[in-house]
Structure 1
Amino acid sequence: MIQDLHRVISTYWQHFLFVLPKLLVALVLLVAAVFIANRVSALLGGRLRSRSADPLLADFLANISKWVMVLLGLLIALNILGFSGIVGSLVGAAGVSAFIVGFAFKDIAENFLAGVILAFNRPFHINDTVEIKGLVGHVEALNLRITLIRTFDGKHIFLPNSMVLKEPLINYTRDGNLRQEFLISVDLGPDTTPDVATDIILQYLRTVPEVQQSPRAPYVNLEKASATTADLRVYFWADSEDYRRGVLQLKSRLMQQVKQELVGAGLGVPSLAG
């Protein structure tokens, strides 16, 4: 029994010594493939970001190129070790493998394909303000599985790409222009009509540089009027590049200033709503 054990160990040791050079070459090749993939991915990403206005697409393509090169290095390493049959089976049975992997890892495959679609058919760019299922924030990243948005209160939300692709998405900043509105109630005196209040509001809005004047001029609609009050809805357009600070804070400032203008003209303002 001891002689048989010694013979088996000796046989396996000889096979190991025979395979060892190939194993070292395959290991070195795989490490080199990973290193080259990281370098090429970083270089490609930098080139694409410098020549493209869409850094999200550049990062996505760089990540895909990285994993393709790593996979290619792994296949070559397996071929060096003598597993050419396995490599041929993997390549030849790509369709069956894709079906099995897609079934077993449905969510991962779905998010990956959704990420590819989002990368090329882009509903947003980096730093765009978007809303998905009631979640509002700036887009910070898109990778092979998730879309990262940062809310206005500093929270990072990792959304699966499949959700971003399927759910209705509101982009507040893609067009560069956004209309805002607010409602103001004005007390009407014996000599005061809604037109008087409208003129005061429009005269003030024409003096605000952040409010667009042409071709999207501000305007005021009369929504409801009684013997003593009139409800006026004020509409204005603003640059939406910075949604929170550029639009929401502008709206807040306009609401306060419009109220002061009306009060300064002798008109009462019982209520003001966004």
Structure 2
Amino acid sequence: MNRDFHHILAAYWEQFLFVLPKLLIALVLLAVGLFIASRLSALLGRRLHRRSADPLLADFLTQISKWVLGLIVLLVALNVLGFTGVVGSLLGAAGVSAFIVGFAFKDIAENFLAGVILAFNRPFRIDDTVQIKDLVGHVVALNLRTTLVRTFDGKHIFLPNSMVLKEPLTNYTRDGDLRMDFLLTVELEPADTPVVATTIILRYLQTVPEVQAGLRTPYVNLEKATTTTADLRVYFWGDAEDYRRGVLQLKSRLMQQVKQELVGAGFSVPALAG
């Protein structure tokens, strides 16, 4: 029994010594190949960033190139080890393998394909403010499986690409301009009319540099009026590049200043609403 066991160990040792040179060559080739693949993908990424106006697409294509080059290096290493038949079988059965892998890893494949569609369709750019369901934040990155969004309170949320593709997506900053509004209630004296209050509001808004004019000039709608009060909704356009600190702070400042302007003109403003 011991003799047979020693024979088996000796046979395995001889096979290991026979395979060892190929194994060392394959490992060296794998290490060098992965290093070169990483450098090539980085070089491709830099060129894409220089020539493309869309860093989101450039990052996504760089990630794909890194994975493709790594897979090629792995197949070459397997071929050096003598697994030519395995490599041929993998390539020859690509259709069957794709079906099996696609079924077994349905979510991964779905998120990857959704990432490809998002990268080329480009419903958002880096740093755009988007809303997906109840989540609002800045787009940080588009990865092979997830979209990274940073909320305004500093949380990093990794959303599956398939969900981002399927759910309604609101982009607040894509066009660079955003219309906001707020509602105020003005108490009227018998001699007053809503037109007087509206004129005061518009005159003040025209003096604020951050409020856009021209084709997107501010305006005021009368939503409800009684014998003593008028509900006025004020609409204005602002620069949406920085949604949280830009437009929302502008809205807050305008609400306070408009109230002061009306109070200074003799009106009473008992209520303000966003």
Note the 1:126-165 alignment, pairs <5 A.
126-165=126-165
Note the 1:1-274 alignment, pairs <5 A.
1-274=1-274
Shift of 1:52: 1.8
Partners of 1:33 and 1:54 in 2: how far apart?
A: 29
Aligned partner of residue 208 in structure 2, secondary structure: coil
Which AA in structure 2 matches 1:52? S
Q: Point out the more displaced range, 110-119 or 7-16.
A: 7-16
Question: Any idea what the Cα deviations from partners look like across 1:60-89, whole Å, max 9, x if unmatched?
Answer: 111111110110011111111111111011
Question: Any idea what the Cα deviations from partners look like across 1:205-262, whole Å, max 9, x if unmatched?
Answer: 0000000101100000000000000000000011111101110000000000000000
Aligned partner of residue 215 in structure 1, secondary structure: helix
Partners of 2:225 and 2:7 in 1: how far apart?
A: 104
Shift of 1:42: 1.7
Partners of 2:184 and 2:251 in 1: how far apart?
A: 13
Partners of 1:221 and 1:112 in 2: how far apart?
A: 47
Shift of 1:56: 1.4
Shift of 1:9: 2.3
* Root-mean-square deviation (Å): 1.0
Which AA in structure 2 matches 1:48? L
Aligned partner of residue 252 in structure 2, secondary structure: helix
Partners of 2:211 and 2:242 in 1: how far apart?
A: 14
Which AA in structure 1 matches 2:69? M
Which AA in structure 1 matches 2:209? P
Aligned partner of residue 57 in structure 2, secondary structure: helix
| Structure 1: gaps of 5 or more residues | none
Shift of 1:2: 3.5
Question: Any idea what the Cα deviations from partners look like across 1:169-222, whole Å, max 9, x if unmatched?
Answer: 000000111100000111111221000000000000000000010110000000
Partners of 2:9 and 2:230 in 1: how far apart?
A: 98
Which AA in structure 2 matches 1:105? F
Aligned partner of residue 238 in structure 2, secondary structure: strand
Shift of 1:47: 1.9
Question: Any idea what the Cα deviations from partners look like across 1:154-183, whole Å, max 9, x if unmatched?
Answer: 111110001000000000000111100000
Partners of 1:155 and 1:12 in 2: how far apart?
A: 55
Shift of 1:11: 2.2
Partners of 2:264 and 2:92 in 1: how far apart?
A: 81
Partners of 2:12 and 2:150 in 1: how far apart?
A: 57
Which AA in structure 2 matches 1:143? N
TM-score w.r.t. the length of structure 1 is: 0.98
Aligned partner of residue 270 in structure 1, secondary structure: strand
Partners of 2:138 and 2:9 in 1: how far apart?
A: 62
Aligned length: 274
* Residue identity (%): 77
Aligned partner of residue 159 in structure 1, secondary structure: strand
Which AA in structure 2 matches 1:198? T
Aligned partner of residue 210 in structure 1, secondary structure: coil
